[in-house]
Amino acid sequence: MNCCHRPVGDSSKIVEAPRGTLTHHYITDEKGILKRANLIVGTTNNYAPISMSINKAARGLIKKGSEITDGVLNKIEMAFRAYDPCFGCATHSLPGQMPMTVRVFDLQGNLLTERSR
């Protein structure tokens, strides 16, 4: 392969990786200069199930009138780390150190309580 060859046009590739399916799409101009890139990473593909797991964990752990403790926050955090342990912040935070906010709403959408760390 010529080290100085620059492909012209567009190309898409799909790869299965530990974090999920990666989709890459690149477009170059007539000189092979990159003009557009579209990357769809595993987190994007996993967003819906991550959200559902967080919701299920929170509903199972937070009961009416109960306090939202650090232990509860840690268990909710585990729900999304199971899908994607490579979140940028996950590599720089020990469990229980990741900044997060949990908000509890009633059926009408009114904020009942909030806990942050």
Full domain range(s) for residue 94: 47-116
State the pTM of this model. 0.64
**CB 10 within 8 Å of CB 27:** yes
Number of structural domains, the chain? 2
For residues 56 and 22, state if they share a domain: no
Is a pLDDT exceeding 80 seen at residue 116? Answer: yes
> What confidence score (pLDDT) does residue 92 get?
56
Is a pLDDT exceeding 80 seen at residue 27? Answer: yes
Beta bridge partners of 90: none
What lies within 8 Å, CB to CB, of 21 at 6+ separation is 14, 15, 40, 42, 45
Is a pLDDT exceeding 80 seen at residue 2? Answer: no
Residue 81 included in any domain: yes
Give the torsion through C-alpha atoms of 99, 104, 105, 111, to 10 deg. -70
For residues 59 and 103, state if they share a domain: yes
**CB 28 within 8 Å of CB 7:** yes
Over the chain, what is the mean pLDDT? Answer: 84
